[in-house]
Amino acid sequence: MSEGSRHFEENSAVFQALHKVTSRLKSLEIPYTVVGGMALFRHGVRRFTEDVDLLVSKSDLKLIHEKLGGLGYLPPFPNSKHLRDTELGVKIEFLTTGDFPGDGKPKPVAFPEPQSVSLEADGVNYINLEKLIELKLASGMTNPGRLKDLSDVLELIRTLDLSIDFADRLNPYVRSKFEELWQEGRTRYVTIWRNKWLTAEAKSIDDMNRLLRSAAEQLEQMQKDGVVLEDNGGAGDDYALLVTTDPKVAEKYGLVEESEYWDRDEGDDDQPLDGPATEAPPDS
């Protein structure tokens, strides 16, 4: 099995290094919280990462080097604030309380005391979602080299289906950026439900009743899954435009990105194209 596969089963060298170092810090009674890629993984954005990122205080960072340096951990180069697990070959990177994310310049958002923003999962302390998003926004907003942090927030918005109201839980400094990314993340998926097609294959009234009941059952299930009728002009003489912003629901019912359904040529008045449409389901 590859290292990447082991990672997604939480059995990679990085996960082993995470549990190893956090166990050592716990025994030393040193407060910490996991940040970076491993925190993203815990909050639902599952991607491969090669490092363990920890937030600690400046005074505790000195203590960590005193207690762990030479005992299974060495700095990757002289005077580095980071360590490397010499057994597993995994880098342990440290961020410190009071420093500023992104460009490192003073701003309303700074790295906090780890114990004030931690939540525990499987015996490990991870940064909570609000502070993770807040720090990533501040980082990506102020450092062009950290735009990945903004894409991480966008992925969290999509994966966790965060509401626009989540912005109220963040520092005012980053709220507008969250709202901007939220709007970007609300990709709409649509399908055209064409009423005139529902009974096109019917050979009898019984067929019509069956097909219409099946269609009504499917519409009811789609509604339960959050599919809605387009607010403005969503229904015409022979069609209904059904919409969701959930990519998993879109895949379930065959909805596609809205851009695939609209003819943007001048003078076409944004009329829906004749394309794949939702029909009454066949007999199971």
- Asked whether residue 283 is assigned to any structural domain, the reply reads no
Q: Answer whether 0.75 is exceeded by the pTM.
A: no
Asked whether the predicted pLDDT for residue 266 surpasses 50, the reply is no
- Asked whether residue 150 is assigned to any structural domain, the reply reads yes
Domain final position from 185, 201, 222: 185
Both 79 and 219 in one domain: the answer is no
Which tokens is 157 given?
Answer: 């918005």
Both 232 and 202 in one domain: the answer is yes
3-state SS string for 15-79: HHHHHHHHHHHHHCCCCCEEEHHHHHHHCCCCCCCCEEEEEECHHHHHHHHHHHECCCEECCCCC
Are 93 and 68 in contact by the 8 Å Cβ rule? The answer is no
- Strand arrangement of the beta sheet that strand 83-85 belongs to: 73-74, 83-85, 90-96, 51-56, 33-35, 124-127, 118-121
Both 233 and 145 in one domain: the answer is no
Both 162 and 212 in one domain: the answer is no
What confidence category does residue 264 fall into, taking pLDDT thresholds of 50, 70 and 90? very low
Q: What is the mean pLDDT of the chain?
A: 86
Q: Which residue has the higher pLDDT, 97 or 260?
A: 97
Tens of pLDDT, residues 94-152: 999 999 999 999 999 999 999 999 999 999 999 999 999 999 999 999 999 999 999 99
- Asked whether residue 245 is assigned to any structural domain, the reply reads yes
Domain final position from 185, 203, 227: 185
Asked whether the predicted pLDDT for residue 178 surpasses 60, the reply is yes
Distances in whole angstroms, Cα of residue 221 to Cα of each of 132, 189, 216, 217, 256? 35, 17, 9, 6, 18
Both 172 and 204 in one domain: the answer is no
- Asked whether residue 253 is assigned to any structural domain, the reply reads yes
Tens of pLDDT, residues 201-259: 888 999 888 888 888 898 899 988 888 887 665 566 667 888 887 778 889 999 988 77
- So what's the pLDDT on residue 112? 98
- Asked whether residue 199 is assigned to any structural domain, the reply reads yes
Both 200 and 162 in one domain: the answer is no
Asked whether the predicted pLDDT for residue 76 surpasses 80, the reply is yes
Both 51 and 84 in one domain: the answer is yes
- Asked whether residue 257 is assigned to any structural domain, the reply reads yes
Are 88 and 20 in contact by the 8 Å Cβ rule? The answer is yes
Both 176 and 195 in one domain: the answer is no
- So what's the pLDDT on residue 3? 63
- Asked whether residue 125 is assigned to any structural domain, the reply reads yes
Both 101 and 177 in one domain: the answer is yes
Residue type, 66: E
CATH of the domain at 100: 3.30.460.40
Give the chain's domain count: 2
Are 114 and 32 in contact by the 8 Å Cβ rule? The answer is yes
Both 178 and 203 in one domain: the answer is no
- Asked whether residue 284 is assigned to any structural domain, the reply reads no
Both 109 and 197 in one domain: the answer is no
Query: The domain containing residue 194 runs over which residues?
Result: 189-278
Domain final position from 145, 164, 185: 185
- So what's the pLDDT on residue 267? 42
Tens of pLDDT, residues 14-63: 999 999 999 999 999 999 999 999 999 999 998 889 999 999 999 999 99
Both 58 and 169 in one domain: the answer is yes
Asked whether the predicted pLDDT for residue 272 surpasses 50, the reply is no
Q: Which residue has the higher pLDDT, 154 or 185?
A: 154
